[in-house]
Amino acid sequence: MLRGFYTAASGMLAQQRRAEMLSNNIANANTPGFKAEQGTVRAFPELLLSHIETNKNGHVTQKEIGPLHTGAYLQEIIPLYTQGDLKETKVKSDVALIEEVVPTLEETNVKGSLFYAVQTPEGQVKYTKNGHFSLDENGRLTLGGNFVLSTNGSPIVLTESDYAFSSDGRISVNGEPTGQQLDVRFASDVRNLVREGNGLYRTVGEEALPSAVGNGAIQYTLKQGYVETSNVDIASSYTDLLTAYRSFEANQKVLQAYDKSMDKAVNEIGRVR
């Protein structure tokens, strides 16, 4: 009886985590560069029950009872790094990163991904897909208070209002090149990326991602005045969220049924009248 409690409770926990994941996707459907999270519900390993007894002669016999299912859990939640649609903003500081040719990792058969490099106020280098940049009071190109980096490792500074980004990220001011270029990094194995919130990522071991600039195996285009929208599929997310709620309720009813059975077993069976 108690095993049923654990099985139903594990199903409820799995669906609760799934609902939280889907709710976060829906909440960020309009966040530039946001990558939808995905996860799958998987059963715990199945157990085989056997009854073992020893007779009065000391002979041990074993009788197979059957398999026992021990519930389910939500596997690791990972982002889906497919390219989102482009949205024209006509804002000069917005730059969309369009992936054209990106190598695939043979081990997983999953494409790598490209990111902008930004520096936090504490000096740490993080990575982002969000190209919705802005200029601070000192003319530095920023994203949510983080400094957007150039290929020389320093923050990009724009001293004039007439600036432009070329398709490969080179920056010109008043039609003259500044020697600055947007730093685009390449993650060959996206499994090593950790989401930190606010559209930022880091590697598992804090290692720096290699630059994609000048890499002949990679092709990309930067488009000024555009941002990459999130890749969240609103319709399927709402459908999956409703399914998660229904599954949660089903497990909840099973748990309530077990609770009523236990109540009868404790308070009514064997009662002396």
pLDDT digits (tens, 9 = 90+) for 127-177: 999 999 999 999 999 999 999 999 999 999 998 889 999 999 999 999 899
Q: Which residues contact 111 (CB under 8 A, 6 or more apart)?
A: 81, 102, 103, 104, 105
Same domain, 223 and 109: yes
Q: How far apart are CA 165 and CA 146, in angstroms?
A: 19
> Residue 271: its pLDDT value, please?
64
Same domain, 119 and 209: yes
Q: How far apart are CA 229 and CA 222, in angstroms?
A: 14
Same domain, 262 and 218: no
Same domain, 65 and 199: no
Same domain, 91 and 174: yes
How many angstroms from the chain centroid is the CA of residue 47? 32
> Residue 130: its pLDDT value, please?
95
pTM: 0.81
DSSP type of residue 249: H
Q: Which residues contact 56 (CB under 8 A, 6 or more apart)?
A: none
> Residue 119: its pLDDT value, please?
95
- Segments forming the whole domain that contains residue 243: 2-29+41-74+232-267
Q: How far apart are CA 134 and CA 146, in angstroms?
A: 10
In a domain, 192, yes or no: yes
Give me the residues of the chain with pLDDT under 50, please: none
Q: Exposed e or buried b for every residue in 123-148, given b needs 16+ CB within 10 A?
A: eebbbbbbbbbebeeeebbbbeebbb
CA angle 152, 157, 163 (to 5 degrees): 110
Same domain, 87 and 58: no
The number of folded domains in the chain is: 2
Same domain, 224 and 100: yes
Which residues are bridge partners to 98 per DSSP?
221
**Radius of gyration of the chain measured on its C-alpha atoms:** 27
> Residue 270: its pLDDT value, please?
61
How would you write 94-126 as a 3-class SS string? EEEEEEEECCEECCCCEECEEEEEEECCCCCEE
In a domain, 273, yes or no: no
Same domain, 138 and 217: yes
Same domain, 95 and 148: yes
With tokens 């709620």, the residue in question is 245
Residues 123, 268 contacting (CB under 8 angstroms): no
> Residue 272: its pLDDT value, please?
58
